[in-house]
Structure 1
């Protein structure tokens, strides 16, 4: 987590480095760097979720070709959940609080958001792996194992959705 923050900070232009020395500006800039780090992590999470969804969607071809209509409703529900989770990640709040907002987001809270998002990386990468396995099972026409893998993916999506809600609550101070 901190290596991403340090990388962003190291890439500041000379003028920005000078501005971090100006009294009062440094705290503002530090917050912006933390927000940028958080955004980089969330963008990565969204890209992995998109890849997972693509693998999931590709598995549907084999299901349709095999005319496994009993799976269609489950697949539609999981696809909708996956889209919702991906969009929540993509459009998640980034820890901004305006001057007059009742809830202020401080540096340590921004760091907590970055850590929280960083822990989601492992979960999203596991989801991607499960979706790749799902696609392979569909290609092999092993629909019994495919159905079990769908259950695993559904549980993972429920956990991700709950984690994202926890993140939103962290931002709101709830």
Structure 2
């Protein structure tokens, strides 16, 4: 795999907005539906962004699994522990990003997140696309053909550190989401 920069990440919010059907466009002009429609579109964009992050992380997981198989076939069993740690941490991060809370878009929700808050969280999530791409590059096996076992273990330790940094940032994001939800649930909208 080449270490190519795919360029700037497109803003999925604009794509979702451009793909609104006629009914959704009409709902934007009906009092009571406007906020619902805007919030729902942001949640769809958030969901698509999470799927994009998950696809990148799953690519890294597949790369690590292939490396693990190759190393086992080569009899380099002493390295398998370090790759196993990286693989486990990466699978956990992918699960947390794929299955964590999103905002709710009911007509009369008990917990409400306005567009400003959702946009803020979406911008935060956009940073995770870049972090996931960095992790995927670090898990790319193309650069490990002729490195020593010690260098390979160091590379896996660096990968685990990057995964843990991303996980801590995700946990801070979730605390922000929960803080918004607690404040909204307490009537402090």
TM-score (norm. length: structure 1): 0.89
- Tell me, yes or no, if structure 1 residue 163 matches structure 2 residue 169: yes
Asked if the contact 2:40–2:105 (Cα under 8 Å) also holds between the matched residues in 1, the reply is: no
Q: Secondary structure at the match of 2:80?
A: helix
Match of 2:102 among 87, 94, 111: 94
Match of 1:27 among 29, 32, 35: 35
Q: What are the superposed Cα offsets for residues 89-140 of structure 1, whole Å, 9 maximum, x if unpaired?
A: 1112122276224xx32211111110011011111101111111xx235544
More moved, 44-53 vs 135-144: 135-144
Where structure 1 has 5 or more consecutive residues not aligned to the other structure, the ranges are none
Distance apart, 1:141 and its partner CA: 5.8
Computed over aligned residues only, the root mean square deviation of the Cα atoms, in angstroms, reads 1.9
Take 2:80 and 2:61, find their aligned partners in 1: how far apart are those partners?
16
Match of 1:75 among 69, 73, 83: 83
Take 1:153 and 1:168, find their aligned partners in 2: how far apart are those partners?
22
Q: Structure 1 residues 121, 136: closer, same or farther in 2, change over 3 A? A: same
Asked if the contact 2:82–2:153 (Cα under 8 Å) also holds between the matched residues in 1, the reply is: no
Distance apart, 1:69 and its partner CA: 2.1
Q: Indicate the structure with greater helix content.
A: 1
Take 1:126 and 1:114, find their aligned partners in 2: how far apart are those partners?
19
Take 1:60 and 1:6, find their aligned partners in 2: how far apart are those partners?
40
Give the aligned length: 170
TM-score (norm. length: structure 2): 0.82
Distance apart, 1:9 and its partner CA: 0.9
- Structure 1 segment 97-116 matched on structure 2, within 5 A: 99-101=109-111, 104-116=112-124
Distance apart, 1:71 and its partner CA: 2.0
